Structures are given as C-alpha cells and as structure tokens.
Structure 1
C-alpha cells in the first residue's frame, strides 16, 4: 500500500510521519550532544565544534518543527482511534500542544544563549542567522537555565509520549502507533 503525501481521516501522510520521526530523532540526539558538550574542557578537540554543531542542528530543528506545525494546521487530522474516550483524546491533544510549546521554548532559549553577546549564529558555514536583540549581560545565564529545564521537560514528555504509543500498540492493540508508522505497518 502506497502512503499518501497528505494526512487522511484514516492516518497520517508521508510528510507528517517523516517530520515526526526526524524531529524525534533530532530531539534525543541534541539532548545527548548537549549533555556531552557541557562537560568538555577547553583543550578538548570538540570544545568549539560540539556547540557549533548543536547550534546549527538547533536552527534546522526550528525550521523542521515550524514546517511540522504549519503542516499540522493545514492538514486534516486523522479521526480518533475507535475506543478512545473524549478524556483520552483531550489529554492527547494537550500533550501534543505542550510538546510543541516546549520545543519552541527550548529552541528560542537556545537561540538567546547563542546570541546573548550580539553575534549571529553560523549555520553549518552556509549562512548566518543574525542576533535579533542587542547584546545583554545576564541573558545567556537566564536563557541557559530555561534551556536546560525546558530540555529536561521535553525529553521527559517525549519519553512518556513514546511509552504511551507503545502501550497503545502492545497492550491496547489499537492503531495509534501504526498510524504514525504508515498504512502498511504492522499488517
């Protein structure tokens, strides 16, 4: 069975599925990279390269999450899975929107850390994303605190989201996870 590009009432389309999994992979990889780079000392070969990579991937993530949100708002959402009550559907919707909100908090605070000194962000050597605010003493520290805690919340929520999908798949045996894997998954 060929996957449609757009969402349908039966399931998610190729664009939504692809963006979902790419974003999920990047979020967990960025969390790991962030944990790794904060402990690097000045003489480590990755001392400047890891933060540069983290910032560049963060900008790509911002573009992907923005595209995913636009795609979500411009496409029909699949019909609720049979057997999911109204409270369960409401909880799922709230969690999804909180994931988007926290993603943006993490990315905006990361941008504010990187541009606190008024310098732009070099994105893979391809272009510079300018600092939109003038340099401000103390912004980097405050943004860093927000970035750290928002990232912890994001990874925790994403982990719970994944656990819920696995529960739906293996315990409830419903279509929740299969719809995000594609129309032929699990059949």
Structure 2
C-alpha cells in the first residue's frame, strides 16, 4: 500500500485536501456535539460556564467556513467513482446520505447563528473580533432555534453513526477500497 501524494481528487482516489477536511470536520463536529451536550448541564457557578459557549461558537464558525470551502472544493474536483460492486440502490442511498449530512450540518450551523444573534447581539469570537448580528428575525428566536439546533445535532450524530457503519461494511464485508480511499491509502 502506498500513501497517495496528490492534493486533488481523481475519479479513483480522494485527494489530501478532501481527506484532511473530511477528518477535521468529523472530529470537530463530534466534539462540538459532546461539548454542546455537556454545556446543557452546566450551571452559572461552574467554572466552564462562560468559556464553553465561546469555544462552541468559535468552533462552529470554523466549521461553517470549512463547510463552505468543502462545498466549493467539491464542485471544483472530480469525485471518485463508487466501487463497481455497489448496486444502484447503494449508490443512490449513499448520495442521499451524503446530501443529508451536508444539509443537516448547514441547518445546525444556521440555527447556531440564530441562537448567537438572538436579540440583535453580535457573535464574539473570544476577544479577537465580533461578527455583527442582525436584528432578531422572529419571536423566541433563541428558544426555537435552540430546539432545532439540538434536534438536528442529534440527527446528525445518528447519520454519522450510520455513515461509520457503512464505511466499516465496505471495508470488512465488501472488502472494497472505500474506507482506504478516505484514509489516503491507495492499493498497488
């Protein structure tokens, strides 16, 4: 096995930029889910009460920027062809699952912004800069957006688990190169 040495995707292999963005987003998004869940149990007197939301928001903005870059990068690059052993149904299901991962991630990011911008406040990224917020767009914005944010984050974690199981199925049962491709390993 050789590690690939290209940065752009081809019809047979993901490039390093796609691979790095995939794994970086995976780890940060999963971490954000657990941080968000942990934050929900904090009280005013917890030492992490003020810092946790700032970390969550700053990483959320970073995910938004990476996701926007990822969409542009995906449009500018080829996509590896699916394994020839895949059925038409598997290929269609895979496309639907990936589209769902993107859409739910963007919905989480938008609702996160709506929470942060509620009341017309800006989103402060530590003490570095503030992203100005628009006026509140609807009544109970923080509460409603917060509930959608929580539910879609949970839905995303379910999809991530299914995505992981599908990758393992490809690797262990189908014995194709799907997982190796996203790990940057190319068969001789």
Q: TM-score, normalised by structure 2?
A: 0.94
2:98 is equivalent to residue 99 of structure 1: no
Kindly indicate whether the alpha-carbon contact (under 8 Å) linking 2:119 and 2:135 is maintained by their aligned counterparts in 1. no
1:34-80 per-position Cα deviation (integer Å, ceiling 9, x unaligned): 01111111111111100111011000010011111111111111112
Which runs of no fewer than 5 residues in structure 1 stay unpaired?
Answer: none
- Residue 119 (structure 2) aligns with: 117
- Separation of aligned partners in 2, 1:118 and 1:133: 4
Deviation at 1:134, TM superposition (A): 3.5
- Separation of aligned partners in 2, 1:60 and 1:76: 25
Which runs of no fewer than 5 residues in structure 2 stay unpaired?
Answer: none
Query: Which residues in structure 2 correspond to 1:1-187 (within 5 Å)?
Result: 1=2, 2-134=4-136, 137-184=139-186
Deviation at 1:3, TM superposition (A): 2.2
1:110-161 per-position Cα deviation (integer Å, ceiling 9, x unaligned): 1101110211111232221111334754000000110010000001101110
1:82-122 per-position Cα deviation (integer Å, ceiling 9, x unaligned): 21121111110111011000000001001101110211111
Aligned residues, how many? 186
Deviating beyond 4 angstroms after TM superposition, the runs of 4 or more aligned structure 1 residues are none
Task: Note closer, same or farther for the CA distance 1:135–1:72 as it changes in structure 2 (3 Å cut).
Answer: closer
- Separation of aligned partners in 2, 1:21 and 1:4: 17
